[in-house]
Amino acid sequence: MVIATPRSPRHVDAMSIPVVELSGIHKSFGANAVLRGISLIANEGEVITLIGSSGSGKSTLLRCINLLEVPEQGQVRIGGEDVSLSLPGPHRRPTNETQIRRIRSELGMVFQSFNLWSHMSVLDNVMAAPLRVQGRDAADVRAEAMATLAKVGLAEKAEAWPAELSGGQQQRAAIARALCINPRVMLFDEPTSALDPELQVEVTRVIRLLADEGRTMVLVTHDMGLARAISSRVLFLHQGLIEEEAPPETLFTAPKSARVAQFLKASSGG
Protein backbone atom coordinates (compact mmCIF):
# COMPACT_ATOMS: atom_id res chain seq x y z
CA MET A 1 0.00 0.00 0.00
CA VAL A 2 1.30 3.40 -0.93
CA ILE A 3 1.03 5.90 1.89
CA ALA A 4 -0.46 9.13 0.65
CA THR A 5 1.92 12.01 0.87
CA PRO A 6 0.22 15.38 0.53
CA ARG A 7 1.36 17.21 -2.53
CA SER A 8 0.71 20.68 -3.78
CA PRO A 9 -2.89 21.12 -4.86
CA ARG A 10 -3.24 20.84 -8.61
CA HIS A 11 -6.64 22.42 -8.92
CA VAL A 12 -5.72 26.05 -8.49
CA ASP A 13 -4.47 26.85 -11.97
CA ALA A 14 -4.80 30.43 -12.97
CA MET A 15 -6.07 29.50 -16.43
CA SER A 16 -8.21 26.43 -16.98
CA ILE A 17 -7.95 25.03 -20.46
CA PRO A 18 -10.34 22.08 -20.82
CA VAL A 19 -8.76 19.14 -22.62
CA VAL A 20 -11.47 16.55 -22.08
CA GLU A 21 -15.09 17.62 -21.84
CA LEU A 22 -17.88 15.11 -21.52
CA SER A 23 -21.39 16.42 -21.16
CA GLY A 24 -24.61 14.57 -20.52
CA ILE A 25 -23.18 11.17 -21.32
CA HIS A 26 -25.64 8.28 -21.44
CA LYS A 27 -24.65 4.72 -22.22
CA SER A 28 -26.53 1.47 -21.86
CA PHE A 29 -25.84 -2.12 -22.84
CA GLY A 30 -29.23 -3.52 -23.77
CA ALA A 31 -31.51 -2.85 -20.85
CA ASN A 32 -28.58 -2.10 -18.55
CA ALA A 33 -28.32 1.68 -18.25
CA VAL A 34 -24.70 2.06 -17.16
CA LEU A 35 -24.21 5.83 -17.53
CA ARG A 36 -27.22 8.05 -17.03
CA GLY A 37 -26.09 11.59 -17.68
CA ILE A 38 -22.50 12.24 -16.70
CA SER A 39 -20.44 15.35 -17.27
CA LEU A 40 -16.74 15.57 -16.68
CA ILE A 41 -14.06 18.10 -17.42
CA ALA A 42 -10.33 17.53 -17.29
CA ASN A 43 -8.38 20.75 -17.62
CA GLU A 44 -4.82 21.01 -18.82
CA GLY A 45 -2.53 19.58 -16.15
CA GLU A 46 -5.28 18.06 -14.03
CA VAL A 47 -5.51 14.52 -12.75
CA ILE A 48 -9.13 13.40 -12.62
CA THR A 49 -9.71 10.17 -10.74
CA LEU A 50 -12.80 8.02 -11.09
CA ILE A 51 -13.70 5.78 -8.20
CA GLY A 52 -16.75 3.70 -7.40
CA SER A 53 -17.78 0.14 -6.78
CA SER A 54 -17.31 -2.59 -9.35
CA GLY A 55 -19.77 -2.32 -12.22
CA SER A 56 -20.52 1.35 -11.56
CA GLY A 57 -19.41 2.27 -15.08
CA LYS A 58 -15.93 3.72 -14.51
CA SER A 59 -14.35 1.83 -17.40
CA THR A 60 -17.30 2.58 -19.64
CA LEU A 61 -16.97 6.30 -18.91
CA LEU A 62 -13.23 6.25 -19.54
CA ARG A 63 -13.79 4.39 -22.82
CA CYS A 64 -16.26 7.05 -23.91
CA ILE A 65 -13.42 9.58 -23.88
CA ASN A 66 -11.59 7.85 -26.74
CA LEU A 67 -14.81 6.52 -28.27
CA LEU A 68 -14.08 2.85 -27.63
CA GLU A 69 -17.66 3.10 -26.42
CA VAL A 70 -20.01 5.45 -28.22
CA PRO A 71 -22.36 7.24 -25.81
CA GLU A 72 -25.91 7.14 -27.11
CA GLN A 73 -26.52 10.61 -25.75
CA GLY A 74 -24.21 13.44 -24.84
CA GLN A 75 -21.21 15.17 -26.31
CA VAL A 76 -17.49 14.48 -26.25
CA ARG A 77 -15.04 17.32 -26.78
CA ILE A 78 -11.29 16.74 -26.94
CA GLY A 79 -9.02 19.76 -26.98
CA GLY A 80 -12.02 21.95 -27.71
CA GLU A 81 -13.00 19.89 -30.74
CA ASP A 82 -16.43 18.29 -30.87
CA VAL A 83 -16.35 14.61 -31.80
CA SER A 84 -18.87 14.25 -34.58
CA LEU A 85 -21.41 11.55 -33.86
CA SER A 86 -24.62 10.54 -35.58
CA LEU A 87 -28.02 11.29 -34.06
CA PRO A 88 -28.49 10.16 -30.46
CA GLY A 89 -29.82 6.64 -30.02
CA PRO A 90 -28.71 3.08 -29.46
CA HIS A 91 -27.08 2.87 -32.90
CA ARG A 92 -25.14 6.09 -32.62
CA ARG A 93 -21.82 5.93 -34.50
CA PRO A 94 -18.94 8.30 -35.15
CA THR A 95 -19.59 10.01 -38.47
CA ASN A 96 -15.97 10.82 -39.18
CA GLU A 97 -13.62 7.85 -38.80
CA THR A 98 -10.59 9.96 -39.67
CA GLN A 99 -11.37 12.35 -36.86
CA ILE A 100 -11.80 9.46 -34.42
CA ARG A 101 -8.44 8.00 -35.37
CA ARG A 102 -6.71 11.35 -35.10
CA ILE A 103 -8.23 12.02 -31.69
CA ARG A 104 -7.35 8.53 -30.49
CA SER A 105 -3.79 9.04 -31.59
CA GLU A 106 -3.65 11.95 -29.13
CA LEU A 107 -5.00 9.97 -26.17
CA GLY A 108 -2.67 7.48 -24.51
CA MET A 109 -4.56 4.60 -22.96
CA VAL A 110 -3.25 2.16 -20.37
CA PHE A 111 -5.31 -0.96 -19.72
CA GLN A 112 -5.80 -3.08 -16.65
CA SER A 113 -4.52 -6.16 -18.51
CA PHE A 114 -1.65 -4.27 -20.26
CA ASN A 115 -2.68 -5.43 -23.75
CA LEU A 116 0.81 -5.16 -25.14
CA TRP A 117 1.08 -6.56 -28.66
CA SER A 118 2.63 -9.85 -27.73
CA HIS A 119 4.28 -10.60 -31.08
CA MET A 120 6.26 -7.34 -31.03
CA SER A 121 9.31 -6.54 -28.96
CA VAL A 122 8.87 -3.97 -26.21
CA LEU A 123 10.55 -1.35 -28.39
CA ASP A 124 8.30 -2.15 -31.36
CA ASN A 125 5.27 -1.84 -29.11
CA VAL A 126 6.36 1.63 -28.13
CA MET A 127 7.23 2.64 -31.69
CA ALA A 128 4.16 1.19 -33.42
CA ALA A 129 1.64 4.00 -33.03
CA PRO A 130 4.08 6.88 -33.61
CA LEU A 131 5.22 5.15 -36.83
CA ARG A 132 2.02 3.60 -38.18
CA VAL A 133 -0.55 6.09 -36.97
CA GLN A 134 1.26 9.38 -36.56
CA GLY A 135 3.60 8.74 -39.46
CA ARG A 136 6.62 10.21 -37.71
CA ASP A 137 10.22 9.80 -38.72
CA ALA A 138 11.62 6.39 -37.76
CA ALA A 139 14.92 7.62 -36.32
CA ASP A 140 13.21 10.25 -34.17
CA VAL A 141 10.67 7.74 -32.95
CA ARG A 142 13.34 5.23 -32.06
CA ALA A 143 15.28 7.78 -30.04
CA GLU A 144 12.16 8.96 -28.26
CA ALA A 145 10.99 5.39 -27.61
CA MET A 146 14.33 4.53 -26.02
CA ALA A 147 14.18 7.66 -23.88
CA THR A 148 10.64 6.83 -22.82
CA LEU A 149 11.61 3.28 -21.93
CA ALA A 150 14.50 4.63 -19.89
CA LYS A 151 12.09 6.90 -18.09
CA VAL A 152 9.93 3.97 -16.97
CA GLY A 153 13.07 1.99 -16.10
CA LEU A 154 12.94 -0.48 -18.98
CA ALA A 155 15.82 0.65 -21.19
CA GLU A 156 17.51 -2.75 -20.96
CA LYS A 157 14.28 -4.57 -21.87
CA ALA A 158 13.78 -2.82 -25.21
CA GLU A 159 14.46 -5.95 -27.23
CA ALA A 160 12.56 -8.34 -24.93
CA TRP A 161 9.22 -9.93 -25.81
CA PRO A 162 6.31 -8.90 -23.59
CA ALA A 163 5.99 -12.52 -22.44
CA GLU A 164 9.46 -12.28 -20.95
CA LEU A 165 8.50 -9.41 -18.63
CA SER A 166 6.89 -9.42 -15.21
CA GLY A 167 3.44 -7.90 -14.87
CA GLY A 168 4.85 -4.69 -13.46
CA GLN A 169 7.36 -4.42 -16.29
CA GLN A 170 4.63 -5.09 -18.85
CA GLN A 171 2.50 -2.33 -17.41
CA ARG A 172 5.43 0.07 -17.42
CA ALA A 173 6.06 -0.84 -21.06
CA ALA A 174 2.38 -0.14 -21.74
CA ILE A 175 2.73 3.24 -20.08
CA ALA A 176 5.79 3.95 -22.25
CA ARG A 177 3.76 2.96 -25.31
CA ALA A 178 1.06 5.46 -24.35
CA LEU A 179 3.59 8.19 -23.52
CA CYS A 180 5.46 7.89 -26.78
CA ILE A 181 2.54 9.23 -28.81
CA ASN A 182 2.94 12.51 -26.84
CA PRO A 183 -0.68 12.37 -25.75
CA ARG A 184 -2.75 15.35 -24.67
CA VAL A 185 -4.24 13.12 -22.02
CA MET A 186 -3.28 9.82 -20.44
CA LEU A 187 -6.18 7.48 -19.72
CA PHE A 188 -5.56 4.80 -17.10
CA ASP A 189 -8.07 2.01 -16.44
CA GLU A 190 -7.10 0.35 -13.16
CA PRO A 191 -3.43 0.15 -14.15
CA THR A 192 -2.39 -1.71 -11.00
CA SER A 193 -5.37 -3.99 -10.37
CA ALA A 194 -3.88 -7.00 -12.16
CA LEU A 195 -0.61 -6.76 -10.21
CA ASP A 196 0.73 -8.18 -6.97
CA PRO A 197 1.21 -5.53 -4.29
CA GLU A 198 5.01 -5.41 -4.72
CA LEU A 199 4.62 -4.88 -8.46
CA GLN A 200 1.95 -2.24 -7.94
CA VAL A 201 4.55 -0.02 -6.29
CA GLU A 202 6.80 0.21 -9.35
CA VAL A 203 3.85 1.13 -11.58
CA THR A 204 2.44 3.57 -9.08
CA ARG A 205 5.81 5.27 -8.89
CA VAL A 206 5.73 5.91 -12.65
CA ILE A 207 2.18 7.24 -12.51
CA ARG A 208 3.14 9.62 -9.71
CA LEU A 209 6.10 10.79 -11.73
CA LEU A 210 3.78 11.64 -14.62
CA ALA A 211 1.42 13.46 -12.32
CA ASP A 212 4.32 15.50 -10.96
CA GLU A 213 5.28 16.45 -14.51
CA GLY A 214 1.87 18.05 -14.80
CA ARG A 215 0.42 15.67 -17.34
CA THR A 216 -3.29 15.68 -17.88
CA MET A 217 -4.65 12.31 -16.81
CA VAL A 218 -7.93 10.56 -16.25
CA LEU A 219 -7.45 7.63 -13.94
CA VAL A 220 -9.72 4.82 -12.82
CA THR A 221 -8.35 3.14 -9.74
CA HIS A 222 -9.15 1.19 -6.61
CA ASP A 223 -5.92 2.44 -5.03
CA MET A 224 -7.22 5.13 -2.68
CA GLY A 225 -3.71 6.04 -1.62
CA LEU A 226 -2.77 6.84 -5.20
CA ALA A 227 -6.04 8.69 -5.81
CA ARG A 228 -5.46 10.78 -2.74
CA ALA A 229 -1.88 11.56 -3.61
CA ILE A 230 -2.18 12.69 -7.21
CA SER A 231 -5.76 13.75 -7.96
CA SER A 232 -6.88 17.26 -8.68
CA ARG A 233 -10.46 16.11 -8.33
CA VAL A 234 -12.02 12.77 -7.49
CA LEU A 235 -15.32 11.64 -8.99
CA PHE A 236 -17.36 8.96 -7.29
CA LEU A 237 -19.63 7.08 -9.67
CA HIS A 238 -22.77 5.43 -8.43
CA GLN A 239 -25.70 4.00 -10.37
CA GLY A 240 -24.73 5.75 -13.55
CA LEU A 241 -24.34 9.19 -12.03
CA ILE A 242 -21.63 11.19 -10.31
CA GLU A 243 -22.54 10.84 -6.66
CA GLU A 244 -19.87 13.27 -5.51
CA GLU A 245 -17.08 15.29 -7.07
CA ALA A 246 -14.49 16.95 -4.88
CA PRO A 247 -10.78 17.56 -4.40
CA PRO A 248 -9.21 14.54 -2.72
CA GLU A 249 -8.55 16.27 0.58
CA THR A 250 -12.27 16.96 0.89
CA LEU A 251 -13.64 13.74 -0.55
CA PHE A 252 -11.42 11.42 1.43
CA THR A 253 -11.74 13.19 4.76
CA ALA A 254 -15.20 14.71 4.75
CA PRO A 255 -17.38 13.17 2.03
CA LYS A 256 -20.84 14.71 1.74
CA SER A 257 -22.45 11.54 0.50
CA ALA A 258 -23.11 8.70 2.91
CA ARG A 259 -22.51 6.29 0.06
CA VAL A 260 -19.03 7.64 -0.54
CA ALA A 261 -18.27 7.41 3.17
CA GLN A 262 -19.44 3.80 3.16
CA PHE A 263 -17.34 2.99 0.10
CA LEU A 264 -14.22 4.58 1.57
CA LYS A 265 -14.72 2.70 4.83
CA ALA A 266 -15.10 -0.58 2.97
CA SER A 267 -12.04 -0.01 0.80
CA SER A 268 -9.79 1.05 3.66
CA GLY A 269 -10.94 -1.93 5.70
CA GLY A 270 -10.44 -4.36 2.79
Partner 1 sequence: MTQLTAVLADIALLAKPALFNLYFAFASIPIGFLFAIFLALGKASRHGLLRRLSSSYIYMFRGSPLFIQFFMIYSMVLALNLSVWKPLGIDGIVLNPLVLGPVVLALNTTAYTAEILFGALTSVPRGEIEAARAFGFSPGTRFRRIVWPHMIRLAWPAYTNEVVFLFHATTLVYFTLPVIDDQKDLMTKAGELFQRDFNVLLHYSVAGLYFLACSLAIFVVSGLIYRRLTRHMPGAAQRWRFTLISPLR
Interface residues toward ligand ATP, by CB under 6 A: 29, 32, 34, 52, 54-60
Supply the minimum distance, in Å, between the C-beta of residue 64 and partner 1: 12
Q: Are 174 and 111 in contact (CB under 8 A)?
A: yes
Amino acid at 217: M
Q: Are 191 and 217 in contact (CB under 8 A)?
A: no
The answer to the question of residue 101 lying near partner 1 (CB under 8 A) is: yes
The answer to the question of residue 115 lying near partner 1 (CB under 8 A) is: yes
Binding mask 171-210 toward partner 1 (x if CB under 8 A, else -) reads ------x---x-----------------------------
Binding mask 42-81 toward Mg ion (x if CB under 5 A, else -) reads -----------------x----------------------
Q: Are 257 and 72 in contact (CB under 8 A)?
A: no
* d(C-alpha 167, C-alpha 159), whole Å: 17
**Beta strands at 241-246 and 233-238: parallel, antiparallel or unpaired:** antiparallel
Name the residue nearer to Mg ion (CB basis): 145 or 217.
Answer: 217
- Running DSSP on this structure, what letter comes out for residue 190? S
* d(C-alpha 136, C-alpha 142), whole Å: 10
The answer to the question of residue 116 lying near partner 1 (CB under 8 A) is: yes
* d(C-alpha 155, C-alpha 145), whole Å: 9
The answer to the question of residue 161 lying near partner 1 (CB under 8 A) is: yes
* d(C-alpha 40, C-alpha 165), whole Å: 36
Residues in 31-90 that interact with partner 1 by CB under 8 A: 66, 68
Return residues touching Mg ion (CB under 5 A): 59
Return residues touching partner 1 (CB under 8 A): 66, 68, 100-105, 107, 109, 111, 113-120, 128-129, 132-133, 161-164, 177, 181
